Structure 1
Amino acid sequence: MKYTIKALAIISIFVFCHYVMRQFWGEGWSSWLSELDNLTGILFTPAKYTFLYGPLVIAAIILFKQSKPFESIGLNSSGFINYALAAIICCTPMAIGYGFLSDELNLSIPAIITGSVYAGFFEELIFRAALFGVLFKYCRWGFVPAALISSVIFGLGHIYQGNDAISALMAVAITTVAGTWFAWLYCECGYRIWFPMWMHIFMNAAYGIFGMSGGAVGDLQGNLFKATAIVLSIVYVEMLIRRGKQREITLSKLFQCTKNGLYTQQANLN
């Protein structure tokens, strides 16, 4: 029963943050922060993320206290550099492909920070760790229901990338699948946000730097190069498993997890 209560609490707090906290943000904060960072979003973006979703992160830490600080929200520092290097390798073919397809180059530092770094960090922290991770790892939900809740909401957040009803639905569908893939990476890489975060950052950065069109849906050639990053990330995880890391997502965990000691804490990165 305690898991059900905590799950309902986390979902309720997320809904409150996602829909109600926006009403308290106010135009005054937006104008002041935008003027302070000269409309770059460098200060505005992290301030808004923190304001809107801070209560969710704090609640996850309080409700699911762990032996290591911030472990409940996937911020265990172990593997930070290794996962960054792995993500660079996985995303390099995609970036090279985008370079061949594109005839423009956008090296705006503020755009990279706000569109890639902030998006990768905060979205993985909020959707993968504080929402999906808590429901799956601590509340014993199965992977499918936990991933669906977080990934569908994540997908709906990208509906603006569609130019019409069909493309909007496709954007939601594709980003929902992407959210599920990020959730799988989160689980298989020690329940830490680092690998999905780096993948998220580098993929967004490549997309923005080379001005790829089509939003989340993309075009055929662009999607083929994007697929290389996804495939290589899966190969990387399978390599970790072959080297001794326990597989986290199995058939027994797809719809319900009920046993104590079900989850391992660390990925083997040696």
Structure 2
Amino acid sequence: MGRFNFFVAFIFGFGLYFYFDQSCYSYFHKEASSITKSTASGHILAYLITLIPLLITVLFLKKKEINVLEAVGLSGSLTKGFGFAFLCTLPLLVAFSVKFSLNTGLSLNTIIINTISSAFFEEIIYRAFLFGILYRCTRLGFLPSVFLGSLLFGVAHLYQATDFVEILEVFAITFLGSVFFCWIYAEWNFNLWTAIFLHCLMNLYWLIFNVDDSAIGGMYANIFRFLSFFIAIGITIFYKRRNKISLEVTKTTFCIKPKDR
């Protein structure tokens, strides 16, 4: 497929998904929740249905030698992804349990929707598709590939802000978080479970303790949040060097990848 046709299909596929999601999600969620008698189940089923245009686009754009699950990063080791994520976020769990009280008003539906479901589907949309398909299937390097998905990820979380300063803070935190998840996804051989579980556990700890109503958090929360980021980066680099595996993101893959890749 030519470069122009690829980008036209990429933009059209995402646009079709976005339109389908905006126009049909509420209907599917209402019907699925009514049938299953569960808000969480309805949420998950509605997301699965509205993702169909995106998955069809992946099927069309992916490299011939890989299947759809591999193209979106779900064929990697689930246990490795969870073990890595739990180790990296353990200081966050300990710090939050010491500083903040438990959120006793949580329901199971809220936990599933705001942790498991949101992490899984957001990683497929923003990391596997908007970043991964661009980076893996074109010569675009990490920087241009990461920009669109991270921009949209930041914009998608602006509903948490109540004034202009909070808009800037929420956008900055979520944009940088998206870049971080993209880097993790790429460096762990495009195993999306690493990013999914990191995202899920960070959301879970933020939710089960009374940290903040938005993604901003205070100084204490952010110190340990960024500590988890640095631990994840350190473990990744240590693991790859110990096993003599080259880093995926380097100066040769940062902007435009060479033709022989």
CA distance in 1, matches of 2:25, 2:119: 25
Residue aligning to 1:157: 156
> Which residue number in structure 1 is paired with residue 50 of structure 2?
52
Residue 81 (str. 1) matches residue 76 (str. 2): no
CA–CA distance in 2 between the matches of 1:187 and 1:86? 14
Distance in 2 of aligned mates of 1:2 and 1:36: 44
| Fraction of identical pairs, as percent | 26
Give the Cα–Cα distance (whole angstroms) in 1 for the partners of residues 228 and 25 of structure 2: 39
What is the root-mean-square deviation of aligned Cα atoms in Å?
Answer: 1.9
Contact 2:186–2:248 (Cα < 8 Å) also in 1: yes
Secondary structure (helix, strand or coil) at the match of 1:42 reads helix
Please give the alpha-carbon distance, in whole angstroms, between the structure 1 residues aligned to 2:252 and 2:24.
Answer: 42
- Cα distance, 1:62 vs structure 2: 2.7
- Secondary structure of the residue aligned to 1:259 is coil
AA partner of residue 29 (structure 2): S
How far apart in 1 are the matches of 2:251 and 2:140?
Answer: 13
Q: TM-score, normalized by length of structure 1?
A: 0.88
- Counterparts of 1:160 and 1:2 in 2: how far apart (Å)? 38
* Structure 2: gaps of 5 or more residues: none
* Conserved? CA contact 1:11–1:131, under 8 Å: no
CA deviations 1:73-95 (Å, max 9, x no partner) are 11223x22122111111111101
Q: What corresponds to 1:32 in structure 2?
A: 31
1:47-126 equivalences under 5 Å are: 47-69=45-67, 70-77=69-76, 79-106=77-104, 108-126=107-125
Between the two proteins, the alignment pairs up a number of residues equal to: 258
Question: Structure 1: any 5+ residue segments left out of the alignment?
Answer: 263-270
**Displacement after TM superposition at 1:206 (Å):** 0.4
Over 3 Å counting, the alpha-carbon distance change for 1:219 and 1:36 in structure 2 is: farther
Q: Residues 189-210 of structure 1: CA distance to partner in whole angstroms, max 9, x if unpaired?
A: 0012011111001100000011
Normalising by structure 2, we get a TM-score of: 0.91
SS in 2 for 1:251: coil
Whichever residue aligns with residue 62 of structure 1, its letter is F
Q: Is the 8 A contact 2:252 2:258 kept in 1?
A: no
- CA deviations on 1:135-193 (whole Å, 9 max, x unpaired) are 01112212111101010001111001112122022211210111011000010000120
User: Structure 1's 111 and 26: CA in aligned 2 closer, same or farther, altered over 3 A?
Assistant: closer
